[in-house]
Amino acid sequence: MLVIDKEISNIFEKTIKSLYGDRNIKNLDITVATKEEFGDFQTNFAMMNSKIIGDNPRKIAQNIIDNIVDNDIVEKLEIAGPGFINIFLKVQYLNNLIKNVLTKKYDFSFLDTHGDVVIDFSSPNIAKRMHIGHLRSTVIGDSIARIYRYLNYHVIADNHIGDWGTQFGKLIIGYRTWLNKSTYDENPIEELERVYVEFAKASENSDILEENARIELKKLQDGDEKNYNLWKEFVSESLKEYNKLYKRLGVHFDTYYGESFYHDMMKDIIKELLDKKIAVDDDGAKVVFFDEKDNLYPCIVEKKDGAFLYSTSDVATIKFRKENYNLNKIIYLTDERQQDHFKQVFKITDMLGWTIEKHHIWFGIMTFDDAILSTRGGNVIRLEMLLDESKRRAYNTVNEKNPLLSEEEKNNIAEIVGIGAIKYADLSQNRQSPVKFEWNKILSFEGNTAPYLQYSYARIKSILRRAKNDNKEITDDKEVNIYEKQERILANHILIFPMAVLKAAETFKPNIIADYLFELAKKFNTFYNSCPILNQEDDVLYSRGQLIKAIGKTLKEGLYLLGIETLEKM
């Protein structure tokens, strides 16, 4: 089924074409009416295009209203204010659409979905456990991947793990010097973290350690077998650990091409940059200097000692993706501190003449009790601990509300609610603002939270079950008859779901979907409090039943796009 604003704009487009021909008119925006008395939808087309058309907006609006082409959608049009057109839809049209929501898919064929969308997210650095700082990239990246897939793009979810770099020389020394084998066997990353810290402490009073670490790193880079095997082990143990968390979070990757994957390509990158005079020799180092107007620091791509840098690796990564995929776009998710890095990398690829659509989607830093969470800071909250704590708290609530459920059910609900709450707390915020966690808020069953949405969904499911038990099952073929104002408001809100998804994709902001869902759940709860469903005349019961079924379906789909599961019972 066509997305509703497209369907309406088709009618306007035809009318406008017949009146004004093929002029270069500005976008025809159809938005939801801001007040009930303004109808269902509105457009400011006449105001936006009065200069281009060369008439005053009210006249244009009136002209469109008087000449609107024949259709089965529009009940009436009204002119408002300086030239708005208020659009009132035929109720039969809305009735049909709601029925379609239950049985059909939205048609997004107007999008240019050619090629591959590479989404580069999560990307932790090996040999460290994931902490709260990794949550945003993982959760927002996964949601964007889900949204793009929903819109029929071919997505490649890539985990660009940090598996190459100076830390490995240090880790190898640490491993050989301080490792406690039995702790390592039990929890490898924890032990690697510890020896890494030991190295840092010891190297404070010993330059030789740093030097030795460089030697081991060099050996690793030159393919020394022992070092290589150790490195491989660090990587695979780390991935094992990460995959446990990804599984719990419901996050999926198609590829795990880490920095090491690109290592052999970097020499050629430097050569190309030098050949094209994009990089120059600067006292032994290879450096890209930018135009003054770009306002960027010079970017070192090869150090004096021949070592490559993070930026070199990202230029190589882009080259690989360009050559191996049919790129539609690349989307990167990292925190705000990498903005300059990506500006430099993108500029360099522009200078190389590679035309690729790329977006660095950055987000604010997540805090908990005011501490900035970074591995270096003292106050690190590990991701696993965070999830466990959320689950524990959710369990207590479930236990209180529903003591009679089986232990297994309680645990299952607690896991889904606990993880949903954390993800939603992150995704419902504007990603560029910092996020501060507060347990009581994020786990509350009221307000803009996952538990509230999950609860609303379960409430709908329970109403549908009760109808079925009364022998009034709400099957998809039942007629919808929108009658009350409340019903119409709900119907319109259901129908704009794909508009919210499109907007979220365009702006890379899952919080647009979260806001949409919160509004939908609120509208449902208000509706249900004033318009009963069960014990009504059959036609009312079935019609309202269909409406809430469509809400349920939309809530589930929307939560899925945020990576959040729903429950049939809570």
Which stretches of the chain bind ligand ARG, using CB under 6 A? 120, 123-125, 160, 162, 314, 317, 332, 334
Q: Rounded to 5 degrees, what are φ and ψ at 155? A: -105, 140
Residue type, position 111, single letter: L
Beta partners for 300?
A: 287
Phi-psi region at 283: left, alpha or beta (left = phi > 0; alpha = psi -120 to 50): left
Nearer to ligand ARG, 332 or 437 (CB): 332
Alpha helices, H only, 163-224: 167-178, 181-186, 188-203, 207-221
DSSP state string for 436-489: E--HHHHT-SSSSSHHHHHHHHHHHHHHHHHHHHTT----TTS-----SHHHHH
Nearer to ligand ARG, 168 or 457 (CB): 168
**CA dihedral for 18, 22, 23, 29, sign (positive or negative):** positive
Nearer to ligand ARG, 113 or 375 (CB): 375
Residue type, position 185, single letter: D
Residue given tokens 């880490």 in the structure block: 258
Nearer to ligand ARG, 332 or 346 (CB): 332
Longest dimension (CA), the chain: 86
d(CA 305, CA 299): 16
DSSP three-state, residue 114: coil
Nearer to ligand ARG, 162 or 552 (CB): 162
d(CA 157, CA 144): 10
CB of 324 to ligand ARG, least distance (A): 15
CB of 125 to ligand ARG, least distance (A): 5
CB of 61 to ligand ARG, least distance (A): 49
CB of 323 to ligand ARG, least distance (A): 16
CB of 368 to ligand ARG, least distance (A): 19
Nearer to ligand ARG, 169 or 552 (CB): 169
**Is residue 344 exposed (0-12), middle (13-18) or buried (19+ Cβ within 10 Å)?**
buried
CB of 527 to ligand ARG, least distance (A): 44
d(CA 468, CA 346): 57
CB of 140 to ligand ARG, least distance (A): 13
CB of 470 to ligand ARG, least distance (A): 54
Nearer to ligand ARG, 9 or 238 (CB): 238
d(CA 490, CA 487): 5
Nearer to ligand ARG, 123 or 328 (CB): 123
Let me know how long the chain is: 570
